[in-house]
Structure 1
Amino acid sequence: MKKLLFILFLGIFSTTSFAQEEPEDISLTYPEKVTTVESTIQTLYRVISGEKDQERDWKLFKFLFKPDAKLIPTLKDKDDKLTVRYMSPSDYIKSSGDWMVRNGFIEREIHREVHVFGHIAQVFSTYECYESLSDEKPFMRGINSIQLFNDDERWWITNIQWSQESAKYQIPSKYLR
């Protein structure tokens, strides 16, 4: 039920884009978080995860993304057809941030495949979601497809597209532990 509510919650909000604000001096605060693909992905999971009533560091979240980056969930529309929704990092925060804090949301990576060529990287990252670290079983699993770009100074997330596991689409064993 909570999974369904979360999916519906994400689908209800408009896709109005907001300009990404670049916080002042943030590059001096967080440089170690984006020096490698590994550190960037670890930071992504850490920054969105937290227990109930735990605030997230949304400045750090935005810092991970290149301007015009997109977060793209795969979901079903009102006619039960698969579709995608395009969000900016600010849209994601607006549509999901309060829900995550109110309910608790821990996203753990359980498997990762990384492909790097030159200044680009593609990461296929399998995840499990919990409301609390004390939960024994995840309420949701899926795969994040994360694209990154390195500008010779740091790694930037350019896009994340994800799909949740369902009865029809089970995560293949090669993408699990």
Structure 2
Amino acid sequence: MASTHKKDDGCGCFSWMLATILYNGFFILLTLLPSMRLLAYPDEKTTTCSVELAGFQGLQPALSSEVTSPAFDLIVRVTNGHTFSLRHGCDIVVSYAGVPLAHGRTPSFELGDKDVLALPVRATSAGVGIPGDLFRLMTDERRWGVAQLQVEFGLAWDTFVCDVELDGHPRVSECYSRSYVRRTDGTADK
């Protein structure tokens, strides 16, 4: 009597070949697609930003009798190399030694090709004062002349970070994009 079972003459080679072709095709497609940065900046002109610390208040320890919430007056400058529109503004976080001290928001704006815009921002805290250990660190670093606030905000496709000197003198600090790797000499690489 003849067998009713079908014989599998192959070893599943067709399935393996198809899976390999699909996998390699998907990998090649991903490597050939333009990056999000190229889609955001098709002409390779980038947006640059800077922050100026115009003033601050409330940098007292949390247990002080005159405690007020930290507040920072900032001027955010945006220089556009291309055209995009931002209708809702952007959130700003002011930190010290990785601890968020205040939050703010820029007014909404629209920026055209090669436009420059200065936006005033008031970043405040709903909390009370600065934790004691952080206040001592800040006091020591201000005395040594190395105290820096970190201002972070998102703009279009990038997140920008600025290291702002906390020495009481207004000065402009250039921002760097989080999509770039920051080197130890202060410059950035892609």
Q: State the TM bucket, normalised to the shorter chain.
A: 0.3 to 0.5
TM-score (norm 2): 0.30
Structure possessing the higher radius of gyration over alpha carbons = 2
Q: Which has the higher contact order (CA 8 A, sep 6+)?
A: 1
- Answer 1 or 2: which has greater helix percent: 1
